[in-house]
Amino acid sequence: MKQKNLKQFLDEQVLKINTPGFIAADPISIPKLFTQKQDIEIMGFFASILAWGQRVTILNNCKKLIELFENQPYEFIINTAPKDWQRFDGFVHRTFNSSDLLYFIDFFHHYYNTHESLEQLFLQGLKHPESYSGDENMEHSLNHFKMKFFERNVHLRRTEKHISSPAQNSACKRLNMYLRWMVRQDDAGVDFGIWNNINPSQLLCPLDVHVGRTARQLGILTRPQDDWKAVIELTSNLKKLDKFDPVKYDFALYGMGISKQ
């Protein structure tokens, strides 16, 4: 397909699929339950980290977390202490268990008592975030985020597998999806756009089996492995279609992938 025709086709798919009606069964529906910025950040993070497996199970376990947080994730996390967290014992989502969850809560407890937004931690990994320059994409930021997330070193080694990084040649699908939610200014009402200091052009396309399959069928991804190099290739080709907002095509690629269009 020629690039002009490809752009027209994908732009049409964005208008068709990137709509609020498509998100009811998607993990992004979890942070959509909240209006406070920190609640959106926290439950958006958990929803993205748990976003593997059957979507019904993902949503059910996220809603279980919300109940355990007494429907106020931010207030619960900053105003309670480890002695109050026994309620999370036994929580499990695939290989993410209560010991992993308790470390995540502990991290947020310490972080949000000294920071207003999780955006600040991602910004620290950029060279010149104030001018959107220095970093073409979020690669350095993602590596920095993982390092800082586990800096306190009070976690089990196994917990580190739940936060991926480009340094491991991981596609970082879940973190890239989370960044898309937080950063993109989406007139359709899908993404939140509550972070204003990261440029949408720096975002990288979340890559999973559905997106990868569609992208290869369309000829915008040739690398056979779903790894970091594939993410860079795919995003570079999407920038040829929209250099300012390349990951707007993510939901369209994903939607076509799961429907096997």
Residues 113-145 have pLDDT tens digits of: 999 999 999 999 997 655 555 689 999 999 999
pTM of the model: 0.94
pLDDT for 204 beyond 80: yes
Confidence of residue 153 (pLDDT cuts 50, 70, 90): confident
Burial of 242 (0-12, 13-18, 19+ CB in 10 A): middle
What does the pLDDT look like over 237-254, one tens digit per residue? 999 999 999 999 998 998
Q: Which residues pair with 93 in a beta bridge?
A: 96
pLDDT score for 143? 97
| Helix or strand (DSSP H, E) at 93 | strand 92-93
Q: Taking a C-beta distance cutoff of 8 angstroms, is the pair 100, 158 a contact?
A: yes
Closest CA to 178 of 227, 131, 135, 138: 138
Q: What is the rounded CA–CA span in Å between residue 151 and residue 108?
A: 13
What's at 88, amino acid-wise?
Answer: F
Q: For the range 166-172, what are the long-range contacts, defined as Cβ-Cβ under 8 Å and sequence gap of 24 or more?
A: 166/139, 166/142, 166/228, 167/143, 169/227, 169/228, 169/229, 170/227, 170/228, 171/206, 171/207, 171/208, 171/226, 171/227, 171/228, 171/230, 171/231, 172/142, 172/204, 172/228, 172/231
Matching residue, tokens 């069964």: 25
Q: Taking a C-beta distance cutoff of 8 angstroms, is the pair 160, 150 a contact?
A: yes
Matching residue, tokens 């958006």: 44
